[in-house]
Amino acid sequence: MIELDLALQRGEFSLELALASPARALALFGPSGCGKTSTLLAIAGLLQPRHGRIAINDHVLFDSRAGVDVATARRGLGVVFQDARLFPHLAVRENLRYGMPRGTTAQAFDDVVQLLQLPALLKRKPGQLSGGQIRRVAIGRALLRQPRALLLDEPLANLHREARVEVLEHLRGLKREFEQTTILVTHQPDEVMALADQVARIEDGRLTALEDVRTFMASAGIPVRARAAPIASKSG
């Protein structure tokens, strides 16, 4: 359950939205500048809303009326930033392990590494990775945190075609493997289709619709059947 009720001011831009989503994977969809990234940052605790309430699976992260504002480090979230933000001085392995809770088994670590096809990269430094590889490591790092929610900020942005395909496949794989609450921020319909169960449309700092992904796809003019196929397929 994702409960968002927040009002936020950033310079001249103001954002106000309230929603409660029972979906496991929620997409915040809208054009750039509409406030979706700000929402994500507020959920992560990196931006403070003026007032409101944020709760994920009944864990209250922020409640201005009750005076609750959990520190970022204790919100138990895994954030994949648009610019990945891998630590440049640490190898891939150390990056992955950075947020891992104590007691995570080696098996769990290996599972994620396998899933994201990272074994060959473990000893490399971020400076030696391609764009797609960096994204995968960032996703793995967030996942290994065993977060109560995974926050993805435009996970496929600025990737060239092959990398997009690659990363999207991995994300789909993750969705199948883990029952992970996910909040996805994007302006790309194909990402929404591949990963989300429910879609919150945001425009100009306001929520314009909260709909099931099928409804979303229909209004985007994409046949329902296409969802099952990989993006790069030639079938139409």
Partner 1 sequence: MDVLTPAETVALALSFKVSLVGVACSLPVAIGCAWLLARKRFYGKPLFEGLLLLPLILPPVVTGYILLIVFGHHGAIGRWLDAAGLSIAFRWTGAALAAAVMAFPLLVVALRNAFESVDRRLENAAATLGAGAWRIFFSVTLPLSMRGLVAGLALAFARAFGEFGATITFVSSIPGQTRTLPIALYELISTPGGEGGALRLTLVAGIVALLAGVIAALMLLRGGTRRTEVEA
φ, ψ for residue 21, nearest 5 deg: -120, 125
Q: Are 181 and 55 in contact (CB under 8 A)?
A: no
Of 150, 225, 221, give the one whose Cα is nearest residue 189: 221
Q: Which of 72, 128, 215, 219 binds partner 1 (CB under 8 A)?
A: 72
Least distance in angstroms from the C-beta of 73 to partner 1:
5
First to last CA, the chain: 34
Of 173, 125, 176, 131, give the one whose Cα is nearest residue 154: 131
Q: Which of 58, 67, 73, 233 binds partner 1 (CB under 8 A)?
A: 73
Q: Are 231 and 190 in contact (CB under 8 A)?
A: yes
DSSP β-bridge partners for residue 80: 152
Angstrom distance (rounded) from CA 130 to CA 43: 29
Does 113 engage in binding with partner 1 (CB under 8 A)? no
Q: Which of 11, 58, 74, 105 binds partner 1 (CB under 8 A)?
A: 74
Does 83 engage in binding with partner 1 (CB under 8 A)? yes
Least distance in angstroms from the C-beta of 69 to partner 1:
14
Angstrom distance (rounded) from CA 102 to CA 104: 6
CA 183 to mean position of chain CA atoms: 5
DSSP β-bridge partners for residue 60: 55
User: Which of these segments, 28-36, 137-145, 184-192, 227-235, binds partner 1 (CB under 8 A)?
Assistant: 137-145
Least distance in angstroms from the C-beta of 109 to partner 1:
15
Q: Which of 55, 76, 190, 226 binds partner 1 (CB under 8 A)?
A: 76
User: Which of these segments, 12-20, 28-36, 96-104, 224-232, binds partner 1 (CB under 8 A)?
Assistant: 96-104
DSSP β-bridge partners for residue 29: 186, 201
Does 205 engage in binding with partner 1 (CB under 8 A)? no
Q: Name which of residues 19 to 58 contact partner 1 (CB under 8 A).
A: 41, 44-47
DSSP β-bridge partners for residue 186: 29
φ, ψ for residue 162, nearest 5 deg: -65, -40
Does 145 engage in binding with partner 1 (CB under 8 A)? yes
Q: Which of 19, 77, 156, 200 binds partner 1 (CB under 8 A)?
A: 77
For residues 77 and 121, which CB has a smaller minimum distance to partner 1 in the complex?
Answer: 77
For residues 25 and 42, which CB has a smaller minimum distance to partner 1 in the complex?
Answer: 42
Residues that bind partner 1 (CB under 8 A): 41, 44-47, 71-79, 81, 83, 85, 87-89, 98-99, 101, 141-142, 145
